[in-house]
Amino acid sequence: MAITATTIWKVRPGKTQDFLGNITSAKKILEKLGAKARLLAQGVGTNAPAFIFIIESADWKAYGDLQTKMQTDADWQGFLTKAVTANTNPAADLIGTGLSSEVPLG
């Protein structure tokens, strides 16, 4: 059963290209670590306009393994420092997070 971690981002005016560049970098690193990553543009709904970044793992074990890798991977830690932690003028604001598990429907 798939596990998805989601983050919802509100892009700051004039920063869409910077945001997409950051997401592209994050996707490459996370996929190297074993995740499936994708980005959705939310055009309608409570948070719209926003982007939803989805990181998917095959199951809870794969999710746990991914989290362990993320905590120790130099590329991921460097990305977080550059794009999130040390950035005083980020491209987007985090407005929501989620962790979901797939419900089999038969």
Question: What are the pLDDT digits (tens) for 7-60?
Answer: 999 999 999 999 999 999 999 999 999 999 999 999 999 889 999 999 999 999
Q: What is the pLDDT of residue 87?
A: 80
Taking the model in full, what pTM does it have?
0.91
Closest alpha carbon to 83 in 6, 28, 3: 28
Q: What is the pLDDT of residue 85?
A: 76
19, 11 contact by CB (below 8 A): yes
Closest alpha carbon to 67 in 57, 75, 80: 57
